[in-house]
């Protein structure tokens, strides 16, 4: 099976812009979660989508949003970018009946 | 608020040493505890523990869960430089939300 893929892998944006990241889960996985990883805060949960519905949400401002399509692919959007949004954004998928997640390689976002 | 705390945050040992990484948690209606290894990029799954007292093993790595004391340990014996990584502990709660700890950064000296 192909693994989780994320695009783009690297992105440089300026403050105030918006960005959309994409994640394709492992075939058959209906759950997709997004995480932000920074050296100081570790891996922080953004949200989880299951069958096109947001199932769980972390403690991030409304500038962070996501969606999931009928083929389970997911997108994450960040509007009005701030310098503090610079991070590695990881996407993970799992089969609905298991907790073990499979992570994509991540998108490294740099905001200048 | 649910939380997962890992210790130590950082550890440096010599090749051949044995290390023990700790993970304690406070979550609402615990479902499962998971360990991941993160090298350069994506975390990779190591173990999932659901029952107390049952050790999971994979080669030189092993892990055990204590649901009464709310913690888990990850042991690595005869460490190798390839074991250098960040080790992440995560816990799933009753809402199927998975909470990660900040990780232990392990560095193995040759």
Mean pLDDT by 10 residues, chain A (112 residues): 91 97 96 92 91 92 96 96 96 87 95 96
**Torsion from C-alpha of B74, A47, A89, B71, nearest 10 degrees:** -10
Tokens 């649910």, residue located? B2
Q: What is the pLDDT of residue A47?
A: 93
Residue to mutate among A3, A6, A43, with most B CBs inside 10 A, is: A43
For chain A, the distance separating the N- and C-terminal CA atoms, rounded to the nearest angstrom, is 37
Contact B96 A99 (CB under 8 A): yes
Q: Which sign, positive or negative, has the C-alpha torsion B93, A26, B39, A15?
A: negative
Query: Which residues lie below 8 Å from residue A12, measured CB to CB, with a gap of 6+?
Result: A110, A111, A112
CB contact, 8 Å: B40 with chain A? Answer: no
Contact A44 B103 (CB under 8 A): no
Contact A42 B42 (CB under 8 A): no
Contact B32 A99 (CB under 8 A): yes
Q: What is the pLDDT of residue B28?
A: 83
Chain B contact set for A24 (CB, 8 A): none
Q: What is the pLDDT of residue A97?
A: 74
The tokens describing A3, both together, are 């693994």
Contact B44 A103 (CB under 8 A): yes
Whole-number Å distance between alpha carbons of A63 and A79: 5
Smallest Cβ distance to A100: which of B34, B95, B103?
B34
Residue/partner pairs of A38-47 with CB below 8 Å, 24 or more apart: A38/A86, A38/A87, A38/A88, A41/B102, A42/B88, A42/B100, A42/B101, A42/B102, A42/B103, A43/A90, A43/B43, A43/B88, A43/B100, A43/B102, A43/B103, A44/B100, A45/B97, A45/B98, A45/B99, A45/B100, A46/A76
Whole-number Å distance between alpha carbons of A81 and A61: 12
Distance in Å, alpha carbon of B45 to nearest chain A alpha carbon: 7
**Tens digits of per-residue pLDDT, B3-18?**
999 999 999 999 999 9
Contact A55 B96 (CB under 8 A): yes
**Tens digits of per-residue pLDDT, B57-97?**
999 999 999 988 899 999 999 999 999 999 999 999 888 88
């Amino acid at each position: 099976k192909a693994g989780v893929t994320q695009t783009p892998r690297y992105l440089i944006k300026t403050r105030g812009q918006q960005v959309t990241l994409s994640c394709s889960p492992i075939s058959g996985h209906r759950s997709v979660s997004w995480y932000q990883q920074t050296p100081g805060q570790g891996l922080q949960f953004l949200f989880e989508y299951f069958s096109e519905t947001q199932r769980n949400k972390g403690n991030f401002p409304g500038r962070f949003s996501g969606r999931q399509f009928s083929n389970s692919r997911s997108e994450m959007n960040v509007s009005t970018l701030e310098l503090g949004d610079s991070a590695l954004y990881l996407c993970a998928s799992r089969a609905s009946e298991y907790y073990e997640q499979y992570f994509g390689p991540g998108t490294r976002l740099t905001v200048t | 608020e649910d939380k997962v705390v890992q210790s130590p945050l950082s550890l440096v040992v010599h090749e051949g040493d044995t290390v023990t990484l700790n993970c304690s948690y406070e979550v609402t209606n615990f479902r499962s505890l998971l360990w991941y290894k993160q090298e350069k990029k994506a975390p990779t799954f190591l173990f999932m523990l659901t029952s107390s007292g049952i050790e999971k093993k994979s080669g030189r790595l092993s892990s055990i869960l204590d649901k009464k004391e709310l913690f888990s340990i990850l042991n690595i014996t005869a460490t190798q430089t390839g074991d250098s990584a960040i080790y992440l502990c995560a816990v799933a709660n009753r809402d199927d939300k998975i909470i990660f700890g900040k990780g232990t950064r392990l560095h193995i000296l040759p």
